[in-house]
Structure 1
Amino acid sequence: MKYFFLSEGWTVGRVWASDGLWQITAWRRPPDIQRLNICLVENNELMWLYRIEEVVITVEVKPNASEFVSQSIGQVVLKRLMTAEQVIDRLGTAEAKCQLQNIQSVV
């Protein structure tokens, strides 16, 4: 499995595997992408941890249009997905604060 952190209010767009853009008709299923119940809080911003299957090499992410109308960023492509060890290292840093999804207020 591979992992990435994604800011609250952003969504996953297109996904690429080693043979190109993910085609649901060719794979006969969408890519396995799951948001986990762990997030980081940095500069009062929630960054959720996502797990994605190993075959994926690149993920496009973009802000939700309704929440970020004034943003000039249209999309971002993540090419360096993280390993489990890298996630553990990141969660262990002093700047990272681990939260569970069930917590209502985070600050």
Structure 2
Amino acid sequence: MKYFFLSDGWTYGRVWEFGGLWDRLSWGRKPEIKRLNCGAIQQEETLWLHAVEDAVLMVEVHPKETSSAESSIGQVVLKRLIDADRAIEILSESQSIFNNS
């Protein structure tokens, strides 16, 4: 598994794998991405930990909602994924939070 942190109010969009952009027709399914029930608070921002399958290399993230007056071009970020050791390190260095729902 690989991991990434995602801020409250943000979601993921396109997903890349070794061959390029994830192709649902070739794979026959969506990539496996799951929000876990733990996260961290850094600089007063809530970051939730997400797990992705090993085939995923990079994930595009963006705000869930943007006003029509705003351009979303500058609000898209490509997240490189981290391993479990780095995710644990970030959680241990930050104020950890848990969602039991």
Amino acid in the other structure paired with 1:15: V
Structure 1 consecutive aligned stretches of length 4 or more whose deviation exceeds 4 Å: 69-72
Counterparts of 1:17-96 in structure 2 under 5 Å? 17-66=17-66, 73-79=74-80, 81-93=81-93, 96=94
Q: Secondary structure at the match of 1:51?
A: strand
Q: What is the CA deviation profile of residues 26-64 of structure 1, one whole-angstrom value per residue up to 9, with x for unaligned ones?
A: 100000000000011122211000000011111100001
Report the counterpart of residue 98 of structure 1 in structure 2.
96
Q: 1:30 to 1:100 in 2, by over 3 A?
A: same
RMSD: 2.0
What number of residue pairs does the alignment pair up?
A: 99
Q: Which has the higher helix share?
A: 2
The structure that is strand-richer by fraction is 2
- Measured in 1, the distance between the counterparts of 2:7 and 2:83 equals 19
Which amino acid in the other structure matches residue 95 of structure 2? K
Aligned residue identity for 2:79: L
Unaligned runs of 5+ in 1: none
Q: Percent of aligned pairs with the same residue?
A: 40
Q: CA deviation at 1:66?
A: 4.7
Inter-partner Cα distance in structure 2 for 1:76 and 1:45: 16
The match for 2:6 is 6
